[in-house]
Chains A and B, each alone.
Chain A
Amino acid sequence: MAKKQPVLAAAETAYVPTDADFVLKNADDALMLDTNFASQSFWKDVLVRFFRKKSAVLGLALIIIITLMSIVGPGMNAYTYDGQQLTQKNLAPRVQGLENYGIFDGSETMHTTSGNKTVNNYIEKDLTDVYYWFGSDNFGRDIWTRTWSGARVSLIIAAAAALIDMIIGMSYGLISGYFGGRVDMVMQRFLEIMNGIPRLVIVTLLLLVLEPGMLTIIFALMLTEWVGMSRIARAEMLKLKEQEFVLASRTLGAGKFFIIFREVLPNIIGPIITQVMFSIPTAIFTEAFLSFVGLGIPVPRCSLGSLISEGFNAFTTHPYQIIPPVIAMALLMFSFNLVADGLREALDPKMKEM
């Protein structure tokens, strides 16, 4: 999606006065600048607009909370993400304190083919001192610990994939757009071919050829994402390259790559960041799909996606196992979307009045 480029930023960053430049005499008085407005830089303005939007702030807060939890969460109890206790498997959530109020007390209702029954396996197995805050899974592993370490893996994968695809996609799009003509034609054909092959074929193939693991998944996700990024970068470039400041820079003898990366790039950083924010949830989601196909993060390590596909098998028997990773994933996707929306509106001066 092409977005309006921030004109203010262009003037701001394209020209940086230095000592070598001549100095205007009595500039302030002579130009009668609106100091209230001028003292506010573009990015400060963006920040103000961003924080004025409640939903965006909520999203940012959620992302920070989940990120923090994914760092400290696994360490909050004595369990590890791969520690198995087969005698303590499939225990329902139980939390100290809350158990006295009839919730999170470790009891669950089983829907069997011969009627429903409510059991509390903590009591039946005499595990009075045992607490699994989110319950335990099929191997007796703590779902709390696994959810947060899964969130960590998912966040790392998604952020890394989004950043790399930003760099590659952006460069590709900018170069293609700037040079235009034959270069653009060839580069766009290549893109079309890449896009025309079903993603699944490329990704599965890659995962089969390379050693399975986090790096491979990041690489695979990157491959599926960069095309969208390059489209946006190219569209922005096409819009900007005929503008005066680029023309000026060119007449001053600036090199092509200097213009692309030092003159144009800073001006399109807004839409690019927005796109990164949108591509993070997509990456999280694609990783979840790969887990479902059996090509996700290798066991016993986990991501939110692999936790969901594990919990999926117990969906009708122990639904509490799938709920924490689904909620964590939904919240992450939700907040990244909110932040992306907020950023887009904050970066777009035209929309700010609304």
Chain B
Amino acid sequence: MKRLATLILALAMILSLAVPAMAAEGSDLNVMVETPVESLDPQIATDGTSFEVIAGYTDGLTQMDAEGGAIPAIAESWDISDDGTVYTFHLRDAQWSNGDPVTAADFVFGWQRAVDPANASEYSYMLSDIGQVVNAAEIIAGEKDVSELGVKAVDDKTLEVTLNVPVSYFLSLMYFPTYYPVNQAFYESVGDTFGTSPETVLSNGAFILDSYEPAATAFHMTKNPDYYNADSVQISGVNYQVIQDSQQALMSYQTGALDTTLVNGEQVEQVKDDPAFLTVGAGYLWYVSPNIKGVEALANLNVRMALTYAINRVDITEGVLMDGSIPTYTAVPLQFATGPDGSDFSGDQSKYADYCADDTDKAAEYWAAGLEELGIDSLELDMIVDADDAPQKVAQVLKSQWETALPGLTVNLTIEPKKQRVEDMQNGDFELGLTRWGPDYADPMTYLGMWVTDNSNNYGFWSNEEYDAIIDECTTGDLCTDAEGRWARLYDAEELVMADAVIFPLYTQANAEMISPSVTGIEHHPCALNRVFKNVVKEG
């Protein structure tokens, strides 16, 4: 009996220990992320979580303001040559967390790593195709040496960048992690282990990574006392918790263990009346890509038109996703690219109503015409879909909408892990594919660049000379410097895509989130860095 009493006492002690564990620590910001960090190497990382964390402890030449514009960071100021091809950045006195000063040479080294073919950096095209840095493309192709890259350290505090052609959004590329500096001496001292632990990364930013294991489910960044702008950082650190199950995440938020969390569409009903609930544009465009070249029925424009008209996008976003995603009828999604006049590139969603709308009657007309042209009365199509929650839901609704609106159509869903789906689509080994694309930078070109002939992400193998010419004109041609003219031509290009039903746009993804009322100043962006925490204020 005595033993039993001891056991109960021990259990009670464990329980009493467990309770205080729930309280939040200090004034760290507790944030939830869905996926773990894949890489802390700024030139190798590709995923949103990694970018967010790397940017948390590293500053580039510029940083994002709340609206996504570029404001000075390590570069205090800059000069742009009259023809717009030479940028001279003047660096401030900042230092790495090992005490070394941040110099122009660190940027040169980082950028050279990005284009070095030996590193095979997935985002190297940010320097070549997008940034148009002199010789970047040639170096990536292995034709020139990395030392010939169009960036040089004039002195310790002056960095000069030469571009092939003027790039209107070049300054906003500077906050993209691929363009971040790497301290060469430190990199060489840690060798191959660079970016795998807190000891093998250096910080020059608002925070210092102080606890991290590879692919950890929880890690921590603490405020950097030597940050050049340390006074403006109000929180003591950021506490990351990777949670894959959304219900656990919401419950953790409710107990106060998290200050902000993502909410699944199904839980929106639970939180929609809460003032802490908000939806944030995520920039991703979800769309269906038909294999135009490889499938005879889909080469028929009437069939493609029928398929895109038969979709009820409002039912998808409001009926199933419920996370604030916006029905989209354009090839470029909403709320990420702002034009010279300050308006959203895709603000007007009815401009291609002649090519894309929710209209089952029109769908039926196109369908009848298409079937007649093909000389068939029924059609079976296969759609490949990622094995994740949201795509499977959307695909089931699409199947049902298509089969209801288009008599004789059968759609089979094939569920695959994302990696395999991407490979199948790139090899043209599919009929319909449900896919998504996130913007890399705040310009419509991040989407429109995809549908040029032979682009690896032009899954439908669509090809149009006029389209290719417009895109060429807008990237390297005459329109580089003419912002308004370029904008107008981009609309022309988009119209070609829509008129040919190259893709069936579905919706612009939004994330449903909870942010505790005691926290203000979390900045959300649809591209580059999804969340920025340096200006966060947390009360109590």
Contacts and interface: CB of A to CB of B under 8 A. Distances in A.
B413 A298 contact: yes
B292 to A, nearest CB: 24
B319 A317 contact: no
Given A86-B315, A114-B274, A299 B387 contact: no
A110 B266 CA distance: 12
Contacts of B414: 211-212, 298
B320 A139 contact: yes
Interface in B270-315: 270-274, 276-277, 315
Nearest to B274: A113
A217 B133 CA distance: 51
Given A113-B274, A208-B420, A212-B414, A314 B387 contact: no
Interface string B387-426: 1110011011101100000000000011111001000000
Given A212-B414, A298-B415, A317-B270, A86 B320 contact: yes
For the complex of A and B, 10 pairs with smallest distance between CB atoms: A86-B319, A294-B387, A113-B274, A84-B400, A112-B270, A300-B396, A316-B247, A113-B271, A114-B274, A114-B273
B397 A84 contact: yes
B370 to A, nearest CB: 24
B250 interface: yes
A113 B512 CA distance: 14
B269 A112 contact: yes
B264 interface: yes
A299 B400 CA distance: 11
B514 to A, nearest CB: 8
Contacts of B147: none
A314 B413 CA distance: 23
Interface string A286-304: 0000000011001110000
B168 interface: no
Q: Which of B388, B397, B514 has the most CB of A within 10 A?
A: B397
Contacts of A114: 273-274
Contacts of A84: 396-397, 400
A300 B400 CA distance: 9
A261 interface: no
A139 B396 contact: yes
Given A84-B397, A300-B396, A316-B251, A110 B270 contact: yes
A112 B266 contact: no
A299 B415 contact: yes
A299 B320 CA distance: 15
Interface of B: 246-247, 250-251, 254, 264, 266-267, 269-274, 276-277, 315, 319-320, 387-389, 392-393, 395-397, 399-400, 413-417, 420, 514
A89 interface: yes
Contacts of A211: 414
A189 interface: no
Given A86-B397, A138-B393, A299-B415, 5 more contacts: A82-B400, A138-B320, A294-B417, A295-B387, A317-B267
Contacts of B247: 313, 315-316
A52 interface: no
A111 interface: yes
Contact of A110 (B269, B413, B514): B269
Contacts of B514: 113
Nearest to A111: B270
Contacts of A318: 266
A114 B250 CA distance: 13
A83 B395 CA distance: 14
B393 to A, nearest CB: 7
Nearest to B399: A300
A113 B270 contact: yes
A260 B64 CA distance: 76
Nearest to B401: A84
Nearest to B276: A113
Nearest to B392: A299
Contacts of B392: 294, 299
Contacts of A83: 400
Contact of A313 (B264, B272, B274, B319): B264
Contact of B267 (A87, A89, A298, A316): A316
Contacts of B393: 138-139
Contacts of A82: 396, 400
Nearest to A301: B413
Contacts of B399: 300
B417 A313 contact: no
Interface string A84-128: 101101100000000000000000001111100000000000000
A83 to B, nearest CB: 8
B93 to A, nearest CB: 47
Contacts of B274: 112-114
Given A84-B400, A113-B254, A300-B396, A313 B266 contact: yes
B435 to A, nearest CB: 17
Interface in A301-332: 313-318
Interface string A60-82: 00000000000000000000001
Given A295-B387, A300-B399, A314 B266 contact: yes
A316 to B, nearest CB: 5
Given A112-B271, A113-B271, A295-B387, A138 B266 contact: yes
Nearest to A86: B319
Contacts of B251: 316
A139 B269 contact: no
Nearest to B322: A138
A107 B446 CA distance: 48
A313 B415 CA distance: 19
A82 B320 CA distance: 15
A300 B413 contact: yes
Interface in A179-199: none
Contacts of B417: 208, 294
8 contacts: A82-B400, A86-B397, A113-B270, A139-B319, A212-B414, A299-B395, A313-B247, A313-B264
Given A299-B396, A315-B247, A112 B273 contact: yes
A294 B266 contact: no
A126 B277 CA distance: 29
A139 B397 contact: yes
Contacts of A87: 319
A212 B397 contact: no
Contacts of A113: 250, 254, 270-271, 274, 276-277, 514
A300 to B, nearest CB: 5
A298 B389 CA distance: 13
Nearest to B265: A138
A217 to B, nearest CB: 12
Contacts of B420: 208
A322 to B, nearest CB: 12
A212 B415 CA distance: 8
A38 to B, nearest CB: 57
Contacts of B271: 112-113
Contacts of B319: 86-87, 89, 139
B76 to A, nearest CB: 45
B263 to A, nearest CB: 10
Nearest to A112: B270
A87 B389 CA distance: 21
Contacts of A86: 315, 319-320, 397
